[in-house]
Amino acid sequence: MFLEEQTDEKLMAEVAKGDLDLLKVLFERHHVHVFNFLLKMSKDKMLSEDITQDVFYKVMKYRTSYNNGKFVSWIFTIARNSLKSHYTRSAEKHQDLDTVIHFEHDEIEEKNEEHTHLHKALSKLETADRELLILNRFQEIKYAELAEIMGSTPGAIKTRVSRALKKLKTIYFENI
Amino acid sequence: MMNKKHITDLLPEYLDGILTKSQIKNIETHLKDCDSCKEELRQFQVLHTAFDSEKEVLPSEKLKSNFYEALELEKQKNPKVVVMDSQPQARKNAWMPNLLKLAASIALLIGGFALGKYQQEQKMNLEIATLQNESLGIKQMAMLSLMENKSASKRIQGVNYIDEFSAPDEAIVKALADRMLHDENANVRLSAVEALEKFTTSETVKKALIISLKTEKDPGIQIAVIQTLVKIQEKKAVAPMQELLEQEDTQPYVKKHIKTVLPSII
Protein backbone atom coordinates (compact mmCIF):
# COMPACT_ATOMS: atom_id res chain seq x y z
CA MET A 1 0.00 0.00 0.00
CA PHE A 2 0.90 3.63 -0.17
CA LEU A 3 1.59 6.18 2.55
CA GLU A 4 4.29 4.06 4.10
CA GLU A 5 6.10 6.88 5.76
CA GLN A 6 3.07 8.44 7.44
CA THR A 7 2.63 7.87 11.16
CA ASP A 8 -0.32 5.78 12.30
CA GLU A 9 -1.66 8.78 14.17
CA LYS A 10 -1.66 11.07 11.16
CA LEU A 11 -3.37 8.41 9.06
CA MET A 12 -5.98 7.71 11.69
CA ALA A 13 -6.70 11.42 12.02
CA GLU A 14 -7.44 11.47 8.28
CA VAL A 15 -9.62 8.39 8.62
CA ALA A 16 -11.54 10.14 11.38
CA LYS A 17 -12.09 13.04 9.01
CA GLY A 18 -13.59 10.66 6.48
CA ASP A 19 -10.82 9.35 4.25
CA LEU A 20 -11.81 5.75 4.84
CA ASP A 21 -9.41 4.35 2.26
CA LEU A 22 -6.49 5.19 4.52
CA LEU A 23 -7.80 2.62 6.95
CA LYS A 24 -6.46 0.02 4.53
CA VAL A 25 -2.94 1.20 5.25
CA LEU A 26 -3.51 0.87 8.97
CA PHE A 27 -5.08 -2.54 8.45
CA GLU A 28 -2.08 -3.73 6.45
CA ARG A 29 0.29 -2.45 9.10
CA HIS A 30 -1.38 -3.89 12.14
CA HIS A 31 -3.76 -6.72 11.47
CA VAL A 32 -1.11 -9.43 11.65
CA HIS A 33 0.09 -8.11 15.01
CA VAL A 34 -3.37 -7.87 16.44
CA PHE A 35 -4.16 -11.34 15.15
CA ASN A 36 -1.00 -12.83 16.65
CA PHE A 37 -1.64 -11.19 19.99
CA LEU A 38 -5.13 -12.68 20.07
CA LEU A 39 -3.88 -16.04 18.87
CA LYS A 40 -1.24 -16.21 21.57
CA MET A 41 -3.78 -15.26 24.19
CA SER A 42 -6.57 -17.54 23.03
CA LYS A 43 -4.80 -20.30 21.06
CA ASP A 44 -7.79 -20.27 18.77
CA LYS A 45 -7.18 -19.31 15.17
CA MET A 46 -10.79 -18.91 14.11
CA LEU A 47 -11.67 -16.90 17.14
CA SER A 48 -8.62 -14.69 16.67
CA GLU A 49 -9.54 -13.97 13.09
CA ASP A 50 -13.07 -13.09 14.07
CA ILE A 51 -11.94 -10.78 16.81
CA THR A 52 -9.28 -9.16 14.62
CA GLN A 53 -11.97 -8.41 12.10
CA ASP A 54 -14.16 -7.07 14.84
CA VAL A 55 -11.35 -4.82 16.08
CA PHE A 56 -10.99 -3.18 12.69
CA TYR A 57 -14.75 -2.87 12.30
CA LYS A 58 -14.76 -1.00 15.56
CA VAL A 59 -11.93 1.26 14.45
CA MET A 60 -13.95 2.02 11.33
CA LYS A 61 -17.21 2.51 13.14
CA TYR A 62 -15.88 4.62 15.97
CA ARG A 63 -13.30 6.46 13.93
CA THR A 64 -14.60 9.85 14.97
CA SER A 65 -13.96 9.05 18.61
CA TYR A 66 -10.26 8.49 18.00
CA ASN A 67 -8.57 10.81 20.47
CA ASN A 68 -5.26 11.34 18.68
CA GLY A 69 -3.43 9.15 21.17
CA LYS A 70 -1.01 6.45 20.11
CA PHE A 71 -2.79 4.33 17.52
CA VAL A 72 -1.10 1.13 18.66
CA SER A 73 -2.35 1.68 22.18
CA TRP A 74 -5.83 2.33 20.94
CA ILE A 75 -6.06 -0.70 18.73
CA PHE A 76 -4.66 -3.08 21.34
CA THR A 77 -6.99 -1.63 23.91
CA ILE A 78 -9.87 -2.49 21.59
CA ALA A 79 -8.40 -5.94 20.97
CA ARG A 80 -8.07 -6.69 24.68
CA ASN A 81 -11.58 -5.50 25.41
CA SER A 82 -13.02 -7.52 22.57
CA LEU A 83 -11.28 -10.65 23.75
CA LYS A 84 -12.41 -10.05 27.30
CA SER A 85 -16.01 -9.51 26.33
CA HIS A 86 -15.89 -12.62 24.18
CA TYR A 87 -14.87 -14.65 27.18
CA THR A 88 -17.39 -13.07 29.51
CA ARG A 89 -20.12 -13.68 26.94
CA SER A 90 -19.21 -17.25 26.16
CA ALA A 91 -18.53 -18.44 29.68
CA GLU A 92 -21.47 -17.70 31.91
CA LYS A 93 -20.23 -19.87 34.70
CA HIS A 94 -16.69 -18.59 34.87
CA GLN A 95 -16.59 -15.30 36.63
CA ASP A 96 -12.89 -14.81 36.19
CA LEU A 97 -11.17 -14.15 32.89
CA ASP A 98 -8.10 -15.78 34.26
CA THR A 99 -9.74 -19.13 34.87
CA VAL A 100 -11.53 -19.00 31.56
CA ILE A 101 -8.47 -18.42 29.48
CA HIS A 102 -6.47 -20.94 31.40
CA PHE A 103 -9.23 -23.42 31.14
CA GLU A 104 -9.47 -23.23 27.35
CA HIS A 105 -5.78 -23.13 27.18
CA ASP A 106 -5.10 -26.35 28.98
CA GLU A 107 -7.81 -28.08 27.07
CA ILE A 108 -6.28 -27.28 23.75
CA GLU A 109 -2.79 -27.83 24.97
CA GLU A 110 -3.47 -31.40 25.86
CA LYS A 111 -4.60 -32.11 22.35
CA ASN A 112 -1.76 -30.33 20.72
CA GLU A 113 1.74 -31.36 21.69
CA GLU A 114 3.59 -29.32 19.13
CA HIS A 115 3.62 -26.19 21.25
CA THR A 116 7.02 -24.82 21.94
CA HIS A 117 8.61 -24.94 25.33
CA LEU A 118 8.25 -21.18 25.52
CA HIS A 119 4.51 -21.44 25.01
CA LYS A 120 4.16 -24.04 27.68
CA ALA A 121 6.05 -21.83 30.08
CA LEU A 122 3.99 -18.79 29.11
CA SER A 123 0.75 -20.64 29.65
CA LYS A 124 1.75 -21.29 33.26
CA LEU A 125 1.92 -17.57 33.99
CA GLU A 126 -1.03 -15.59 35.24
CA THR A 127 -3.05 -14.05 32.42
CA ALA A 128 -1.99 -10.50 33.25
CA ASP A 129 1.70 -11.41 33.20
CA ARG A 130 1.34 -13.46 30.06
CA GLU A 131 -0.49 -10.67 28.32
CA LEU A 132 2.19 -8.16 29.25
CA LEU A 133 4.94 -10.38 27.91
CA ILE A 134 3.09 -11.20 24.72
CA LEU A 135 2.49 -7.52 24.04
CA ASN A 136 5.97 -6.41 25.02
CA ARG A 137 8.05 -9.29 23.68
CA PHE A 138 6.13 -10.51 20.64
CA GLN A 139 4.33 -7.40 19.50
CA GLU A 140 7.19 -5.16 20.59
CA ILE A 141 4.95 -2.65 22.24
CA LYS A 142 6.97 -0.17 24.23
CA TYR A 143 6.50 0.60 27.93
CA ALA A 144 4.91 3.96 27.17
CA GLU A 145 2.25 2.46 24.92
CA LEU A 146 1.70 -0.46 27.27
CA ALA A 147 1.10 2.05 30.02
CA GLU A 148 -1.63 3.66 27.91
CA ILE A 149 -3.20 0.28 27.22
CA MET A 150 -3.14 -0.84 30.85
CA GLY A 151 -3.93 2.54 32.32
CA SER A 152 -0.67 2.65 34.21
CA THR A 153 2.66 4.48 34.11
CA PRO A 154 5.67 3.46 32.02
CA GLY A 155 7.74 3.01 35.17
CA ALA A 156 5.22 0.66 36.75
CA ILE A 157 4.86 -1.28 33.52
CA LYS A 158 8.60 -1.69 33.25
CA THR A 159 8.70 -3.19 36.73
CA ARG A 160 5.79 -5.50 35.95
CA VAL A 161 7.35 -6.68 32.69
CA SER A 162 10.65 -7.30 34.41
CA ARG A 163 8.97 -9.32 37.17
CA ALA A 164 6.90 -11.30 34.70
CA LEU A 165 9.98 -12.08 32.70
CA LYS A 166 11.75 -13.37 35.80
CA LYS A 167 8.81 -15.58 36.67
CA LEU A 168 8.79 -16.90 33.15
CA LYS A 169 12.50 -17.59 33.27
CA THR A 170 12.09 -19.62 36.43
CA ILE A 171 9.27 -21.69 34.94
CA TYR A 172 11.12 -22.08 31.69
CA PHE A 173 14.24 -23.52 33.28
CA GLU A 174 12.39 -25.60 35.86
CA ASN A 175 10.74 -27.67 33.17
CA ILE A 176 13.36 -27.84 30.51
CA MET B 1 31.30 -6.72 45.29
CA MET B 2 28.54 -4.77 43.60
CA ASN B 3 24.86 -5.16 44.21
CA LYS B 4 23.83 -8.26 42.27
CA LYS B 5 20.11 -7.73 42.44
CA HIS B 6 20.46 -4.43 40.73
CA ILE B 7 22.23 -6.04 37.82
CA THR B 8 19.82 -8.92 37.27
CA ASP B 9 16.97 -6.45 36.97
CA LEU B 10 18.70 -4.74 34.13
CA LEU B 11 19.68 -7.84 32.20
CA PRO B 12 16.59 -8.09 29.96
CA GLU B 13 17.00 -4.48 28.93
CA TYR B 14 20.69 -5.07 28.48
CA LEU B 15 19.82 -7.77 25.95
CA ASP B 16 17.27 -5.51 24.31
CA GLY B 17 19.99 -2.95 23.85
CA ILE B 18 17.99 -0.14 25.39
CA LEU B 19 20.36 0.86 28.18
CA THR B 20 22.65 3.87 28.34
CA LYS B 21 26.36 3.51 27.70
CA SER B 22 27.26 3.96 31.34
CA GLN B 23 24.70 1.35 32.42
CA ILE B 24 26.12 -1.09 29.89
CA LYS B 25 29.61 -0.42 31.15
CA ASN B 26 28.56 -1.04 34.76
CA ILE B 27 26.91 -4.30 33.82
CA GLU B 28 29.85 -5.51 31.86
CA THR B 29 32.31 -4.76 34.65
CA HIS B 30 30.05 -6.49 37.11
CA LEU B 31 29.62 -9.53 34.91
CA LYS B 32 33.36 -10.10 34.82
CA ASP B 33 33.49 -10.92 38.52
CA CYS B 34 30.08 -12.36 39.14
CA ASP B 35 29.35 -15.92 38.08
CA SER B 36 25.77 -15.98 39.29
CA CYS B 37 24.94 -12.94 37.17
CA LYS B 38 26.67 -14.53 34.23
CA GLU B 39 24.41 -17.52 34.63
CA GLU B 40 21.38 -15.23 34.89
CA LEU B 41 22.45 -13.53 31.70
CA ARG B 42 22.83 -16.86 29.94
CA GLN B 43 19.32 -17.85 30.96
CA PHE B 44 17.81 -14.56 29.86
CA GLN B 45 19.64 -14.97 26.60
CA VAL B 46 18.06 -18.37 26.03
CA LEU B 47 14.65 -16.87 26.75
CA HIS B 48 15.36 -13.94 24.50
CA THR B 49 16.27 -16.25 21.63
CA ALA B 50 13.15 -18.33 22.27
CA PHE B 51 11.00 -15.20 21.92
CA ASP B 52 12.82 -14.11 18.82
CA SER B 53 12.56 -17.45 17.08
CA GLU B 54 8.81 -17.62 17.59
CA LYS B 55 7.14 -17.40 14.20
CA GLU B 56 4.37 -14.99 13.40
CA VAL B 57 1.23 -16.72 12.18
CA LEU B 58 -0.56 -15.26 9.19
CA PRO B 59 -4.34 -15.05 9.27
CA SER B 60 -6.31 -16.32 6.30
CA GLU B 61 -6.92 -14.06 3.31
CA LYS B 62 -10.59 -14.05 4.21
CA LEU B 63 -9.90 -11.65 7.05
CA LYS B 64 -8.60 -9.03 4.67
CA SER B 65 -11.24 -9.49 2.00
CA ASN B 66 -14.03 -9.34 4.58
CA PHE B 67 -12.68 -6.18 6.08
CA TYR B 68 -12.18 -4.50 2.72
CA GLU B 69 -15.74 -5.40 1.81
CA ALA B 70 -17.04 -3.89 5.01
CA LEU B 71 -14.99 -0.81 4.31
CA GLU B 72 -16.52 -0.40 0.87
CA LEU B 73 -19.99 -0.69 2.37
CA GLU B 74 -19.14 1.91 4.96
CA LYS B 75 -17.85 4.22 2.25
CA GLN B 76 -21.15 3.99 0.41
CA LYS B 77 -23.03 4.69 3.59
CA ASN B 78 -20.91 7.72 4.28
CA PRO B 79 -20.38 9.87 1.24
CA LYS B 80 -17.94 12.69 1.61
CA VAL B 81 -20.50 14.71 3.54
CA VAL B 82 -19.43 13.13 6.81
CA VAL B 83 -16.13 14.76 6.41
CA MET B 84 -17.51 18.19 6.83
CA ASP B 85 -16.79 18.66 10.49
CA SER B 86 -13.60 20.38 9.59
CA GLN B 87 -13.85 22.64 12.63
CA PRO B 88 -11.23 21.44 15.09
CA GLN B 89 -13.51 21.37 18.12
CA ALA B 90 -15.86 18.93 16.42
CA ARG B 91 -13.16 16.27 16.63
CA LYS B 92 -13.15 16.27 20.38
CA ASN B 93 -16.82 15.50 20.59
CA ALA B 94 -18.01 12.00 21.13
CA TRP B 95 -19.92 9.81 18.74
CA MET B 96 -23.46 10.97 19.53
CA PRO B 97 -23.05 14.68 18.90
CA ASN B 98 -21.28 13.76 15.69
CA LEU B 99 -24.19 11.64 14.69
CA LEU B 100 -26.47 14.60 15.24
CA LYS B 101 -24.12 16.74 13.24
CA LEU B 102 -24.08 14.19 10.51
CA ALA B 103 -27.88 14.14 10.47
CA ALA B 104 -27.89 17.90 10.46
CA SER B 105 -25.43 18.10 7.59
CA ILE B 106 -27.44 15.69 5.53
CA ALA B 107 -30.61 17.61 6.29
CA LEU B 108 -28.81 20.79 5.29
CA LEU B 109 -27.58 19.26 2.12
CA ILE B 110 -31.03 18.02 1.13
CA GLY B 111 -32.52 21.35 2.14
CA GLY B 112 -29.94 23.06 0.01
CA PHE B 113 -30.86 21.03 -3.00
CA ALA B 114 -34.59 21.28 -2.47
CA LEU B 115 -34.66 25.00 -2.01
CA GLY B 116 -32.04 25.54 -4.59
CA LYS B 117 -30.02 27.67 -2.27
CA TYR B 118 -27.27 28.24 -4.67
CA GLN B 119 -24.92 29.86 -2.20
CA GLN B 120 -25.25 27.15 0.36
CA GLU B 121 -24.50 24.51 -2.17
CA GLN B 122 -21.49 26.30 -3.41
CA LYS B 123 -20.07 26.64 0.05
CA MET B 124 -20.43 22.93 0.63
CA ASN B 125 -18.84 22.10 -2.63
CA LEU B 126 -15.98 24.30 -1.67
CA GLU B 127 -15.55 22.53 1.63
CA ILE B 128 -15.63 19.15 0.00
CA ALA B 129 -13.17 20.30 -2.58
CA THR B 130 -10.82 21.54 0.12
CA LEU B 131 -10.99 18.23 1.87
CA GLN B 132 -10.41 16.30 -1.29
CA ASN B 133 -7.45 18.52 -1.93
CA GLU B 134 -6.11 17.73 1.49
CA SER B 135 -6.25 14.04 0.93
CA LEU B 136 -4.73 14.53 -2.49
CA GLY B 137 -1.87 16.33 -0.77
CA ILE B 138 -1.30 13.35 1.45
CA LYS B 139 -1.48 10.98 -1.48
CA GLN B 140 1.08 13.05 -3.28
CA MET B 141 3.38 13.02 -0.28
CA ALA B 142 2.93 9.28 -0.03
CA MET B 143 3.67 8.74 -3.67
CA LEU B 144 6.80 10.84 -3.51
CA SER B 145 8.10 9.07 -0.45
CA LEU B 146 7.31 5.64 -1.85
CA MET B 147 9.32 6.44 -4.92
CA GLU B 148 12.32 7.04 -2.66
CA ASN B 149 11.94 3.67 -0.96
CA LYS B 150 14.89 1.31 -0.83
CA SER B 151 12.91 -1.55 -2.24
CA ALA B 152 12.39 -1.52 -6.00
CA SER B 153 8.94 -3.06 -5.76
CA LYS B 154 7.85 -0.27 -3.43
CA ARG B 155 9.20 2.28 -5.87
CA ILE B 156 7.17 0.66 -8.63
CA GLN B 157 4.13 0.83 -6.38
CA GLY B 158 4.82 4.51 -5.89
CA VAL B 159 5.17 5.08 -9.61
CA ASN B 160 1.94 3.23 -10.36
CA TYR B 161 0.18 5.32 -7.82
CA ILE B 162 0.04 7.98 -10.53
CA ASP B 163 -3.34 6.51 -11.51
CA GLU B 164 -4.80 8.33 -8.52
CA PHE B 165 -4.04 11.68 -10.07
CA SER B 166 -5.88 13.13 -13.01
CA ALA B 167 -3.71 16.21 -13.12
CA PRO B 168 -0.48 15.62 -11.23
CA ASP B 169 1.51 18.68 -10.35
CA GLU B 170 5.03 19.48 -11.41
CA ALA B 171 6.68 17.91 -8.36
CA ILE B 172 5.20 14.51 -9.18
CA VAL B 173 6.02 14.74 -12.85
CA LYS B 174 9.60 15.67 -11.99
CA ALA B 175 9.89 12.82 -9.52
CA LEU B 176 8.61 10.37 -12.12
CA ALA B 177 11.02 11.72 -14.70
CA ASP B 178 13.77 11.34 -12.16
CA ARG B 179 12.83 7.67 -11.66
CA MET B 180 12.78 7.11 -15.40
CA LEU B 181 16.22 8.60 -15.89
CA HIS B 182 18.11 7.63 -12.77
CA ASP B 183 16.59 4.62 -11.07
CA GLU B 184 19.06 1.76 -10.84
CA ASN B 185 16.34 -0.79 -11.43
CA ALA B 186 15.15 -1.28 -15.02
CA ASN B 187 11.64 -2.30 -13.98
CA VAL B 188 11.20 0.92 -12.05
CA ARG B 189 12.43 2.92 -15.04
CA LEU B 190 10.04 1.10 -17.34
CA SER B 191 7.08 1.70 -14.99
CA ALA B 192 8.02 5.36 -14.92
CA VAL B 193 7.99 5.54 -18.72
CA GLU B 194 4.56 3.96 -18.74
CA ALA B 195 3.33 6.36 -16.07
CA LEU B 196 4.62 9.38 -17.96
CA GLU B 197 2.99 8.28 -21.21
CA LYS B 198 -0.25 9.84 -20.07
CA PHE B 199 1.27 13.24 -19.50
CA THR B 200 3.18 13.83 -22.69
CA THR B 201 1.64 17.24 -23.11
CA SER B 202 4.00 18.47 -20.42
CA GLU B 203 7.24 19.98 -21.66
CA THR B 204 9.12 18.46 -18.74
CA VAL B 205 7.95 15.01 -19.77
CA LYS B 206 8.95 15.51 -23.39
CA LYS B 207 12.39 16.72 -22.41
CA ALA B 208 12.89 13.85 -20.03
CA LEU B 209 11.88 11.30 -22.66
CA ILE B 210 14.43 12.68 -25.07
CA ILE B 211 17.14 12.60 -22.44
CA SER B 212 16.18 9.02 -21.69
CA LEU B 213 16.54 8.17 -25.35
CA LYS B 214 20.12 9.34 -25.19
CA THR B 215 21.08 7.70 -21.91
CA GLU B 216 18.97 4.57 -21.57
CA LYS B 217 20.79 1.30 -22.32
CA ASP B 218 18.03 -1.19 -21.62
CA PRO B 219 16.49 -2.21 -24.98
CA GLY B 220 13.00 -2.81 -23.55
CA ILE B 221 12.89 0.68 -22.11
CA GLN B 222 14.40 2.16 -25.26
CA ILE B 223 11.52 0.72 -27.26
CA ALA B 224 8.91 1.99 -24.80
CA VAL B 225 10.42 5.47 -24.95
CA ILE B 226 10.59 5.40 -28.74
CA GLN B 227 6.97 4.33 -29.01
CA THR B 228 5.85 7.12 -26.70
CA LEU B 229 7.81 9.73 -28.62
CA VAL B 230 6.47 8.51 -31.95
CA LYS B 231 2.93 8.57 -30.62
CA ILE B 232 3.22 12.26 -29.80
CA GLN B 233 5.17 12.97 -33.01
CA GLU B 234 8.00 14.61 -31.14
CA LYS B 235 10.30 15.94 -33.85
CA LYS B 236 13.15 16.54 -31.41
CA ALA B 237 13.40 12.80 -30.99
CA VAL B 238 14.51 12.24 -34.52
CA ALA B 239 18.15 13.18 -34.02
CA PRO B 240 18.75 11.00 -30.95
CA MET B 241 17.02 8.11 -32.72
CA GLN B 242 19.35 8.45 -35.66
CA GLU B 243 22.25 8.46 -33.25
CA LEU B 244 20.99 5.21 -31.78
CA LEU B 245 20.95 3.73 -35.25
CA GLU B 246 24.59 4.59 -35.67
CA GLN B 247 25.75 3.40 -32.28
CA GLU B 248 27.28 -0.05 -32.23
CA ASP B 249 25.98 -1.09 -28.84
CA THR B 250 22.34 -0.55 -29.82
CA GLN B 251 20.52 -3.88 -29.98
CA PRO B 252 19.66 -4.98 -33.55
CA TYR B 253 15.95 -5.22 -32.82
CA VAL B 254 15.93 -1.73 -31.36
CA LYS B 255 17.55 -0.50 -34.57
CA LYS B 256 14.98 -2.40 -36.56
CA HIS B 257 12.21 -0.82 -34.55
CA ILE B 258 13.62 2.66 -35.09
CA LYS B 259 13.86 2.03 -38.82
CA THR B 260 10.20 1.08 -38.99
CA VAL B 261 8.92 4.01 -36.97
CA LEU B 262 11.27 6.75 -38.10
CA PRO B 263 9.49 7.41 -41.42
CA SER B 264 6.22 8.03 -39.59
CA ILE B 265 7.72 10.81 -37.51
CA ILE B 266 9.71 12.73 -40.13
DSSP string, chain A: ---TTS-HHHHHHHHHHT-TTHHHHHHHHHHHHHHHHHHHHH--HHHHHHHHHHHHHHHHHTGGG--SS-HHHHHHHHHHHHHHHHHHHH-SS---HHHHHHHHHHHHHHH-TT--HHHHHHHTS-HHHHHHHIIIIIS---HHHHHHHHTS-HHHHHHHHHHHHHHHHHHHHH--
* Judgement on whether residues A76 and A10 belong to the same structural domain of the protein: yes
Looking at the structure, do residues A69 and A147 belong to the same domain, yes or no? no
Whether residue A134 sits in one domain with residue A68: no
Per-residue pLDDT, B112: 62
B113 interfaces chain A, CB cutoff of 8 Å: no
Q: Is the pLDDT of residue B54 over 90?
A: no
CB contacts, 8 Å: B98 with chain A: 64
Supply the pLDDT for residue A7.
Answer: 92
Q: How confident is the model at residue B33 (pLDDT cuts 50, 70, 90)?
A: confident
Please tell me the predicted confidence (pLDDT) of residue A56: 96
**Per-residue pLDDT, B65:** 93
Q: Note whether A86 and A124 are same-domain residues.
A: no
Chain B hits for A143, Cβ within 8 Å? none
Q: Which of A113, A142, A164 is the last residue of a domain?
A: A113
pLDDT at B85 over 80: no
- Measured in residues, chain A has a length of 176
In this prediction, residue A102 carries a pLDDT of 53
Measure CB to CB from residue B68 to each of A24, A161, A165 and give the nearest one.
A24
Interface of B with A in 207-266 (CB under 8 A): none
Q: What is the pLDDT of residue B26?
A: 87
Residue ranges and CATH numbers for the domains of chain B are 4-52 (no CATH), 168-265 (1.25.10.10)
- Report how far apart, in Å, the C-alpha atoms of A45 and of each of A33, A48, A113, B38, B57 are: 13, 5, 16, 39, 9
One domain for residues A108 and A173: no
CATH number, position A56: 1.10.1740.10
Identify whether residues A36 and A119 lie together within a single domain: no
Domain match, A167 and A94 both: no
| CA–CA dist B196, B212 (Å, integer) | 12
Integer angstrom CA distances of residue A173 from A57, B15, B46, B186, B238:
41, 18, 10, 53, 77
Residues A21 and A57 in one domain: yes
Tell me which of A10-19, A145-154, B240-249 is least confident.
Answer: B240-249
Query: pTM to 2 decimals?
Result: 0.54
Kindly identify which residue of chain A lies nearest to residue B135, measuring between CA atoms. Answer: A19
Mutation target among B39, B63, B143 for the A interface, most CBs of A within 10 A = B63
ipTM here: 0.81
Chain mean pLDDT for chain B: 81
Percent of chain B with pLDDT over 70: 80
Last residue of a domain, one of A85, A113, A141: A113
Greatest mean pLDDT range, A109-113, B107-111, B143-147, B235-239: B235-239
Query: pLDDT digits over B21-32, tens only?
Result: 888 888 888 888
**Is B19 within 8 Å of chain A by CB?**
no
Contact A45 B67 (CB under 8 A): no
Share of chain A above pLDDT 70, in %: 82
User: pLDDT at position B81, please?
Assistant: 44
Supply the DSSP symbol for B12.
H
Listed by number, the residues of chain A in 18-77 with a beta carbon closer than 8 Å to a beta carbon of chain B are: 18-24, 27, 31-32, 35-36, 39, 45, 48-49, 52-53, 56-57, 60-62, 64-65, 68
A172 in the same domain as A132? yes
The range of the structural domain enclosing residue A147 comes to 115-176
Same-domain pairing of A100 and A157: no
The whole-number average pLDDT for the span B213-235 is 88
* Cβ under 8 Å to B: A residues 71-130: 116-118
Chain B residue with CA closest to A39: the answer is B57
At residue B154, the pLDDT reads: 83
Please tell me whether residues A80 and A120 are part of one structural domain.
Answer: no
Q: State pLDDT tens for residues B37-49.
A: 888 899 999 998 8
Whether A110 shows a pLDDT value over 50: the answer reads: no
Give the pLDDT confidence score for residue B12 in this predicted structure.
Answer: 86
- Whichever domain contains A167, its CATH number is 1.10.10.10
Number of domains in chain A: 2
Q: Which of A113, A147, A168 is the last residue of a domain?
A: A113
Say what the alpha-carbon torsion angle B146, B147, B150, B152 is, to the nearest 10 degrees. 110
For A20, the closest of B8, B59, B74 (CB atoms) is B74
| Rounded Cα–Cα distance for residues B232 and B217 (Å) | 22
Q: pLDDT of B137-188, one tens digit each? A: 777 878 888 888 888 888 888 888 888 877 888 888 888 998 999 888 888 9
Query: Are A132 and A100 members of one domain?
Result: no
| The pLDDT value given to residue B1 | 47
Per residue in A41-92, pLDDT (tens digit) is 998 999 999 999 999 999 999 999 898 889 999 999 999 999 998 888 776 5
Please, are residues B213 and B222 in contact by the beta-carbon 8 Å criterion? yes
Q: Mean per-residue pLDDT for A104-132?
A: 74
